[in-house]
Amino acid sequence: MIYEKRIVSTIVWGLIFGFISWGIARICGALPLSGAVSIILSRTILGFVIGISAWRIAWWWHGILLGLFFSLPSGFASLWLGYGWGKGFVPALVTGIIFGFLIELLTTIVFKAEVREAKVEEKKEEKKE
């Protein structure tokens, strides 16, 4: 079950790590505005998905897998743009995995906003006589 504290926390951390990713990408060379927006949005969406996901696995594994999954498009885009494996694909995947892990760590462990189990309320059936 999702709740507000978890979603807000993961989105904020995703946005912060999006700007950090953008800063790391700028070290490798000039980056068009569309690339900057893409990097920031991909990390923010990663945070959102981590927040709404009810996947019942270990929190650290959850962050790593979603970080990897959401970094694949950026990695392949960097290959297509000619940045290569060493300046584009691998750094995109590694930062995605690390930031996915950190988003989960900060949200679940530090801010104690873990995934909650859904509460099922039984409806009382009226007895017909």
Two structure tokens written together for 97 = 């995995």
Residue 32, pLDDT > 90, answer no
Ramachandran angles phi, psi of 3, nearest 5°: -150, 165
What gap in Å lies between CA 105 and CA 112, rounded to an integer? 9
Which pTM value belongs to this model? Answer: 0.83
The answer for residues whose C-beta is within 8 angstroms of residue 114's C-beta and 6 or more apart is 6, 59, 108
Residue 6, pLDDT > 60, answer yes
pLDDT digits (tens, 9 = 90+) for 79-113: 888 878 888 899 899 999 999 999 999 999 998 88
pLDDT, average across residues 23-33: 84
Every domain of the chain and the residues it spans: 4-110
Residue 66, pLDDT > 80, answer yes
